[in-house]
Structure 1
């Protein structure tokens, strides 16, 4: 017994010189990137974190000694700021409306394209084209589509006798209008990802379920969705991150209006940096970072792989 233990411990202490050389070579190759990352990425991130605990303003750049530490005052002030509460609610609405809609449209289109044998590449490129188009150009075009007079949507409604609303001038319609445009522009990315995931599902599984009498909805619910869980998780994470950083659409189309109904947390942070409130803006950006972490954690809890205990509990 002791001999086996000593042998096992001696083997565990033995290090393969080849693996050690490979590790040294790997670190030597990665060192330039690590240094660049530390200087140009990690350094500014830590500096902005420290800035969030100060009262730094634009006028303090020439005199850094005038900057005073304020502890958590910036964060407390943000929580008490009515405008920040409003933009936080707007960002939550962007998230709750945009993520499910984008994923649903992308999945439906991916399923449709997956069933098409001819012209599959044509449809894939066509649906993906808005993603690679400039967001500013797309926003300008959609702003004209939403116009009260002469806009495409109101013109079509006028043909059937309906007086179209002011899409971007209404405090209730402006935000959903921006989400609709964002869904149209962004679902192409998820469509390509979901299409790749659908093509990894063995066709024999669906055929066997069909032979057993399973309906199309049953096959989709009990075969397609479970086998797409990792793909859905990835899509939910990247889409959620995008909607939490919602900015360009509102900046170009509504300037955050009307009455701040489309102003997002990112837009608020951008404004504070523009006003020269660097410490306050840095604190807002780190609250947004905390929201990103919490959202990603929730998505992994919901769509992530289930452990054995959870599966056994579900079976019981």
Structure 2
């Protein structure tokens, strides 16, 4: 027999609707994205947003006082064909990068190897050697460096004790750039600390086995230390190259913002600053900034592509 439920007691039962994909996503990940919200605001408001605006301005004529006027690729055409100071700044910047980065890395590695041999007071030495990296980009150090290499500075006073009449290193176009290279090499503390950390990860039993085989310290360095340290060398080379391309404060302070005698210290970033805040050619300066971004990206990409041939990892 079949029984029929009375209309007063029967209730229709319906299955609860499942939450939509957006609600499920927010329920699972909403808290994490709320914690990331300050970073998103900073990235899009202070990095990505201004970068996209500068890309637009690079195709305009903009002087901060009037509205931007679209001129297409005219800024880039002028940079490539009719700007002698652009070529001069590129030459100075590339010379600075090619000299300062290898010398700084070599000196940092030399000091790291010396510290890794074990000595008393090692934390104090690490702190002392790292200090120039903290102070080197400051205005005070740049002013001090200008005084050291002036015609009556400490360097020439020291050379005078040996009967050497030193030039005015800063105002001499043949030597002014090299004073900035020396300043960059003096800031070896940051890569030195990273090299020292990498050296501490090399197993000591490899050196003991090499010593038993009669390998000298020099051969151990070239056959064990340097190959196993290539990932650290690669990291330091990429970071220091990017920093060298972006160098600004020493050239600005030491040259007085002019780029030195005969543009001998006219770094690319200094020229960009002159165009933007000296002549208020913001559109042109934006084009220069994007060219610098492309140059750094190409150098970085080349470094990563070439790393497979000389960087040795554990695997």
Equivalent runs, 1:234-249 vs 2, <5 Å: 234-249=235-250
- Residue 221 of structure 1 deviates from its aligned partner by 1.1
| TM-score, length basis structure 2 | 0.85
Residue equivalent to 2:206: 205
Is 1:136 matched up with 2:139?
yes
TM-score (norm 1): 0.84
Structure 1 stretches of 4+ moved >6 Å: 18-21, 305-308
Match of 2:55 in 1: 49
The equivalent of 2:5 in structure 1 is: none
How does 1:236-275 map onto structure 2 within 5 Å? 236-255=237-256, 256-274=259-277, 275=279
CA distance in 2 between counterparts of 1:21 and 1:104 reads 52
1:20 Cα deviation after fit: 9.8
Alignment partners' CA distance in 2, 1:135 and 1:158 = 29
Q: 1:305: how far off?
A: 6.9
More helix by share: 1
Please name the residue that 2:306 is paired with. Answer: 302
Q: State the Cα deviation string for residues 28-62 of structure 1 (Å, max 9, x = none).
A: 432442233212221111011111011111221xx
Find the aligned partners of 1:69 and 1:232 in 2 and give their Cα distance: 45
- After superposition, residues 40-79 of structure 1 pair within 5 angstroms as 40-60=46-66, 64=67, 67-79=68-80
Q: Counterparts of 2:309 and 2:201 in 1: how far apart (Å)?
A: 18
Indicate if the aligned counterparts of 1:99 and 1:240 stay in contact, CA closer than 8 A. yes
Instruction: Check whether the contact 2:75–2:283 (CA below 8 A) recurs between aligned residues.
Output: yes
SS in 1 for 2:92: helix
Asked if 1:219 corresponds to 2:220, the answer is yes
Corresponding residue for 1:103? 105
Q: CA deviation at 1:143?
A: 1.2
Q: Provide the secondary structure at the position in 2 that maps to 1:213.
A: coil
Structure 2 residue ranges without an equivalent (≥5): 1-23
CA RMSD of aligned residues (A): 2.1
| Cα deviation 1:257-309 (Å, max 9, x = unaligned) | 1111101110011111111101000000000111110111122233357699x
1:285 equivalent in structure 2: 289
Name structure 1 gaps, 5 residues minimum.
1-17, 309-316
Larger radius of gyration: 2
1:243 and 1:22 map into 2 onto residues whose CA distance is 44
